[in-house]
Amino acid sequence: MITGKNYIGNTLAGKGIKTFKTFNPQSNKENKTVFIEATVEEINEAVELALLAFKKYSKVSGAEKAAFLDTIADEILNLGEELIQTYCSETGLPEGRANGERGRMVGQLRSFAELVKEGSWVEATIDTAQPDRKPLPKSDLRKMMIPLGPVVVFGASNFAFAFSTAGGDTAAALAAGCPVIVKSHPMHSGTGELVSSAIIKAAEKTGMPNGVFSNLNGSSTDVGVNLVKHPGVKAVGFTGSINGGRALFDIASQRKEPIPVFAEMGSVNPVVILPEALKSNGSYWAKTYAGSVTLGAGQFCTNPGLLLGMKSDALTDFINKLSKEIIKIEPSVMLHPNIVGAYEKNKKRALSQSGLTVTATIDIDVKPNYGKQVITTVEGKTFLENTTLHQEVFGPFSMVVQCEDVKQLENVILALEGQLTGTVISNTEELSNYSVIIDALQNRVGRVIFNGVPTGVEVCPAMQHGGPYPASTDSRFTAVGVHSIKRWVRPFSYQDWPQELLPQELKDENPLGILREVNGKLELKK
Amino acid sequence: MITGKNYIGNTLAGKGIKTFKTFNPQSNKENKTVFIEATVEEINEAVELALLAFKKYSKVSGAEKAAFLDTIADEILNLGEELIQTYCSETGLPEGRANGERGRMVGQLRSFAELVKEGSWVEATIDTAQPDRKPLPKSDLRKMMIPLGPVVVFGASNFAFAFSTAGGDTAAALAAGCPVIVKSHPMHSGTGELVSSAIIKAAEKTGMPNGVFSNLNGSSTDVGVNLVKHPGVKAVGFTGSINGGRALFDIASQRKEPIPVFAEMGSVNPVVILPEALKSNGSYWAKTYAGSVTLGAGQFCTNPGLLLGMKSDALTDFINKLSKEIIKIEPSVMLHPNIVGAYEKNKKRALSQSGLTVTATIDIDVKPNYGKQVITTVEGKTFLENTTLHQEVFGPFSMVVQCEDVKQLENVILALEGQLTGTVISNTEELSNYSVIIDALQNRVGRVIFNGVPTGVEVCPAMQHGGPYPASTDSRFTAVGVHSIKRWVRPFSYQDWPQELLPQELKDENPLGILREVNGKLELKK
């Protein structure tokens, strides 16, 4: 049952007076539960509990953390149909998507469980003593990764499962040994509370300390701001808009003790289409690209907002085909009236720029909260001169930039801000003629894709989800895949430390059998 | 020959009108060379050149970068006696130290050369395609570390070799594939120019692009500020004061595109001495600690400014012995009149706090620029109530905090800001009784030391040099050892990328024979 209260550690609490409800965009009605925004007192209590929990949780073994994570996954699945229905009622997304995203969330939790059970992720490094070294003896030094402390995770509007309460940030932080305080996204607080109940149940079942997890509601920005300012909080994970992420980054940077914020923010995910591919396969790419632009009503962080090509009859033909393909697709419901409102506003801003031509739009009336897809086109020169055109329009909107030549195409890419992804659509033979284009693209993005579309972020170790600012606030980390654990840990060295007091990972006999670097050489499992 | 000019890439330039000289603290006289501060135009030119160089240098192979780094080491050694004499004349440090630190600088360059020649440091990760996977096929994804772009390195006042022009930050950034622009420290700009000449010579000999390295002079803060604000700069390395490091961090965080700053700053490096060790070995530790406090006139970042003990006759006896030992040591010259001035000012600030007792001081007159060591003591309660006493006094100054009991000792540790190191001096048997102390200490520092002193930072992979703020601005990285390369790189993924266009590190056949994670399994060299 959803109570509308906050989880302060294992306890449900709701002393506040500010309340709000979630909204069903499909039925265009508010949902019933009244959610109570966390008070300053409750926020402080959650952080204090997390600090206490950290003392114990930071020392919990990998096997125990794995049991905790696996049990979270089990308890989420145990929530069954209620969870799926709540998700759908708070997002407007279909059951198929709900099931798929739940699978991804559960899969992420299990992959982090596997990672910490195996144990090599701590990057254990040992340099043994050389007492007889001249002119000075060498000490024994042993290093491994340890958790930072309490982490605040902000739920994302567009992924109520995979990037929210028990999503990638939370799974990675709990795996690292950090207690987590979630600032639940106000658009899906019911989903958040249910998932939180599963986490709390798992924490109790596996004997984790009270405070290892808290879930706070809030529809105003106060809750998040107070959390990020709290001296007990040691890192922040965020997925959302550039404005939101940057505001948190600024608050965190201006603290007396600055803390790292990993914010995964906006991206227009440029797709470059080269001449031979246009000629030989234009119809296929028009259809595929139309699907990518409208997938999930264009509400993916990897949605392609920009297609870059060089002027030719083939490009004109492609634009025509793309425009025809995209209007064949039924508009779909967006997550929330606020998201639709922002989409309409940003679309209007873009469409009001001079030189932008609309080549496809939906003329018919649609149901409330449905997002109408749009394809636009603009000259390379116009795009270069007007940076407003570079900004993301979150939703099913895409712009085709028609460049004069390779040089202008390169300049367009160089003028872009940092991106999550960059795609090249090309016949393999022509590729070698465009190395300047590929070089320029690589320098602006976190991931390059060949002959595909950027939507669809595989969860695997080789995935990089992040990129130069503003794709993320620190391009040196990923938000997806097990390596995302590195955001929440720091290296720690023991010098001449007694064997019996060393953590298992660093003892001479390698009791966990993990990969270690010993005196400069990698040693695989015994 | 030292010209006083800046290296803008391979070219010596000095169009500016602001000039300054370095100072020999030993002879108490200015050195002769007139250094010309870099102009805004020269700064911009250096960054533009670095950006151009980055296009080529980011693709240079590990073997070629290794040759460059090794040649830098060779060319530094080729500078011979002139370099050593310049170093001594600009720092007042003895030849023995100059030779030792040069050895360390050269050793660091060679260890990074080895790292990139071997190649596994890029963390190559491969997840191969599963075209038949249901419900959706899986793409081929391959990830590795790539360089961030031009890096600005600030020379440190206290290590003209190992943490300056060709020191750890520069070696790590060049190894990563990032061009480097050094803001030379104005106290040893002659040393900086000589080392820069060796780097330029090595770049030319090994065919590295012009702009891979620049060296800018400046005695005002303008040069550094302009560099950090320049949109072409992608990361910053700094070693120095909290004020300086924090100012750069703030500038970098407030840029339109924020960039990472790794600043290694202040630390008082607390040393906890436990009762049994005091009783059985007090004399030894008094002498050893006195040596650590005065080593290099107390100008090491790991200098122990704080000794924490519990009140007892043994502690009183220890303080007496420490006070006697430390005044036996000859005061030594500090790096610069400004450093002596800051030392005297900060010492005065500390000594003016009520409750602080001086137990050892040097009464005799010393030569100009010599730093007189001081031992002080204070009650635990007083220390807890006055955070001014927590601040570093950079120089041969240390404070013994006498705590009432274990609880107060724990509270003192918990009240400290982040530190580079924390030391425990103890008989092994008693250690298990003080786990709260050890836990508290571990949570505040980057490295713990057992029965040693914190001075002496071994350069090896297992070293962590860095720690919670303000020891460093990002505790997730180290400033010393080959792992410090991670500060200057970001993960980058290729999705379904054609084999022939993949970098060597990610090709199927593993031509470099490096360690890779393939489909979740680690594969050692073929």
The DSSP H or E segment spanning B335 is none
Q: Is B436 on the interface with A (CB under 8 A)?
A: no
Nearest CA-CA distance, residue A144 and chain B, Å: 8
Cis before B270? omega within 30: no
What percent of chain A shows pLDDT beyond 90? 97
Q: Chain B interface, mutation test: which of A439, A453, A490, A517, most B Cβ atoms within 10 Å?
A: A490
Residues A463, B520: C-beta atoms closer than 8 Å: no
pLDDT tier at B526, thresholds 50, 70, 90: low
Q: Which residues of B touch A120 (CB under 8 A)?
A: 522
B177 with B303, same domain: the answer is no
Q: Is residue A515 part of a domain?
A: no
- Whether B253 and B362 map to the same domain: the answer is no
B384-422 pLDDT tens trace: 999 999 999 999 999 999 999 999 999 999 999 999 999
Preferred mutation among B460, B494, B514 to probe A, highest tally of A CBs within 10 A? B460
Q: Which residue of A has its CA nearest to B482?
A: A520
Residue A456 domain-assigned (yes or no): no
CB atoms within 10 A of CB A148: 24
- Per the CB < 8 A criterion, the answer to whether A50 and A150 are in contact is yes
Is residue B462, in this structure, part of any structural domain at all? no
Give me the catalytic one of A37, A101, A193, A264: A264
Q: Are residues A275 and A367 in the same domain?
A: yes
* In a domain? residue A524: no
Question: Within this chain, do residues A35 and A152 fall inside the same structural domain, yes or no?
Answer: yes
Q: What range defines the domain where residue A305 resides?
A: 271-450
B522 at interface of A, judged by CB pairs closer than 8 A = yes
pLDDT band at B522 (very low <50, low <70, confident <90, very high): confident
Q: Are residues A149 and A258 in the same domain?
A: yes
Examine the residue annotation and report whether B460 is marked as an active-site residue of this protein. Answer: no
Same domain, A246 and A354: no
Tell whether the model's pLDDT for residue A226 goes beyond 90: yes
Best mutation site among B429, B480, B495, B505 for testing chain A: the one with the most A CBs within 10 Å?
B495
Determine the Cα angle at A20 with ends A16 and A22, to 5°.
140
pLDDT at A362: 93
Task: Tell me which residue in B428, B470, B493 faces A447 most closely, judged by beta carbons.
Answer: B493
- What is this structure's pTM? 0.97
Tell me the β-bridge partners of A428: none
Mean pLDDT, rounded, for A404-424:
97
Question: Are A331 and A368 within one domain?
Answer: yes
Peptide bond into B135 cis (omega under 30): yes
Q: Is B277 exposed, middle or buried (0-12, 13-18, 19+ CB in 10 A)?
A: buried
Q: Is the pLDDT of residue B432 over 90?
A: no
**What pLDDT sits at residue B428?**
84
Neighbour-count burial for A454-482, b at 16+ CB within 10 Å, e otherwise:
bbbbbbbbbbbbbbbbbbbbbbbbbbbbb
pLDDT of residue B374: 97
Q: Does A526 score more than 60 pLDDT?
A: no
Query: In chain B, which residues have their Cβ closer than 8 Å to the Cβ of A492?
Result: 442, 446-448, 464
Rg (CA), chain B: 25
Task: Say yes or no: B303 and B253 in one domain.
Answer: no
A:168-207 residues touching chain B, CB 8 A cutoff: none
* More confident of the two residues A147 and A432: A147
A386 shares a domain with A254: no
Alpha carbon distance A55, B279 (integer Å): 31
Contact (CB<8Å) A515/B522: yes
Residue B512 within a domain: no
Q: What is the CATH number of the domain that holds A348?
A: 3.40.309.10
DSSP-derived pairing of the beta strands A11-13 and B29-30: unpaired
- Residues near B99 by beta carbon (within 8 Å), at least 6 away in sequence: B84
Do A453 and A301 touch, CB atoms closer than 8 A?
Answer: no
Report whether pLDDT(A325) > 90: yes
**Residue keyed to tokens 């198929």:** A96
User: How many domains are contained in chain A?
Assistant: 2
Q: Quick check: B463 contacting A, CB < 8 Å?
A: yes
Which residues of chain A make contact with B146, given a CB cutoff of 8 A? 442
**Three-class DSSP category at B238:** strand
C-alpha–C-alpha distance, residues B350 and B333, integer Å: 21
- B501 in a domain, yes or no? no
> Is A178 part of the annotated catalytic residue set?
no
Whether the CB of A269 is below 8 Å from some CB of chain B: the reply is no
pLDDT, tens digit, for every residue of A467-520?
A: 999 999 999 999 999 999 999 999 999 999 999 999 999 999 999 999 999 999
φ, ψ for residue B238, nearest 5 deg: -145, 140
Separation in Å, CA of A461 to nearest CA in chain B: 7
Q: Is the CB of B418 inside 8 Å of chain A's CB atoms? A: yes
> What average pLDDT does this structure show over B478-487?
97
Q: With cut-offs at 50, 70 and 90, classify the pLDDT of residue A107.
A: very high
- Whether A422 is covered by a domain: the verdict is yes
Tokens of B260: 């990472």
**CB-based contact A442 B522, cutoff 8 Å:** no
Catalytic-labelled residue, pool B37, B193, B264, B325: B264
Q: Find the helix or strand (DSSP H, E) in which A123 lies.
A: none
Residue A389 to residues A340, A383, B247, Cα–Cα distance (Å): 19, 6, 34
Could you tell me if the ipTM is greater than 0.90?
yes
The alpha carbon of residue A146 is apart from the nearest alpha carbon of chain B, in Å, by: 10
User: Rounded to an integer, what distance in angstroms lies between the CA atom of residue B62 and that of residue A181?
Assistant: 42
User: In whole angstroms, what is the distance from residue A178 CA to residue A150 CA?
Assistant: 5
Among the partner residues B125, B148, B492, nearest to A461 by beta-carbon distance? B125
Question: Out of A191-200, A243-252, B513-522, which region has the weakest mean confidence (pLDDT)?
Answer: B513-522
The DSSP symbol for A58 reads T
- Clarify whether residues A101 and A209 are in a common domain: yes
A28 close to B (CB below 8 A): no
Does one domain contain both A136 and A282?
no
Strand partners, B398: B375
Which of A433, A476, A506 should we substitute to test contact with B (largest number of B Cβ atoms within 10 Å)? A476
- Cβ of A490 within 8 Å of Cβ of B475? The answer is yes
Q: Which residues in chain A are closer than 8 Å to B449, comparing Cβ atoms?
A: 139, 495-496
- What does pLDDT average to over chain A? 97
In this prediction, residue B425 carries a pLDDT of 98
Q: Does position A525 have pLDDT exceeding 80, yes or no?
A: no
Residue of B nearest to A440 (CA): B55
* E strand segments, B40-171: 125-127, 141-147, 151-154
- Identify the CATH number of the domain in which residue A229 sits: 3.40.605.10
Query: B214 and B259 share a domain?
Result: yes
Cα B284 from chain centroid? 30
- Compute the distance between CA of residue A123 and CA of residue B3 in angstroms, rounded to an integer: 46
Half-sphere exposure of B26 (CA within 13 A, CB side): 11
Task: Report the 10 Å Cβ neighbour count for B388.
Answer: 10
Chain B within 8 Å of A327 (Cβ-Cβ)? no
Is B458 inside a domain boundary?
no
Cβ distance A524 to B520 less than 8 Å, yes or no, reads no
- Tell me, what's the pLDDT at A522? 86
Q: What is the pLDDT of residue B456?
A: 87
CA distance A162 to A361: 31
Question: Does A496 sit within 8 Å of B490, measured CB to CB?
Answer: no
**How far apart are the C-alpha atoms of A515 and B522, rounded to whole Å?**
9
Quote the CA–CA distance of A397 and B361 in Å, as a whole number. Answer: 73
- The yes-or-no verdict on residue A196 having pLDDT over 70 is yes
* pLDDT value, residue B525: 64
B526/B518 Cα distance (integer angstroms):
13
Residue A1 vs residues A33, A79, A192, A194, A473: alpha-carbon distances, Å: 10, 10, 12, 8, 37
In tens, the pLDDT along B128-155 reads: 999 999 888 999 999 999 999 999 999 9
Q: Do B464 and A143 touch (CB under 8 A)?
A: yes
| Cα distance from N-terminal residue to C-terminal residue, chain A | 48
* Number of Cβ within a 10 Å radius of residue A284: 12
Tell me, what DSSP letter sits at residue A486?
A: G
Question: What pLDDT sits at residue B298?
Answer: 95
Q: How far is Cα A463 from Cα A447, in angstroms, rounded to an integer?
A: 8
> Which of A120, A125, A466 shows the shortest C-beta gap to B462?
A125
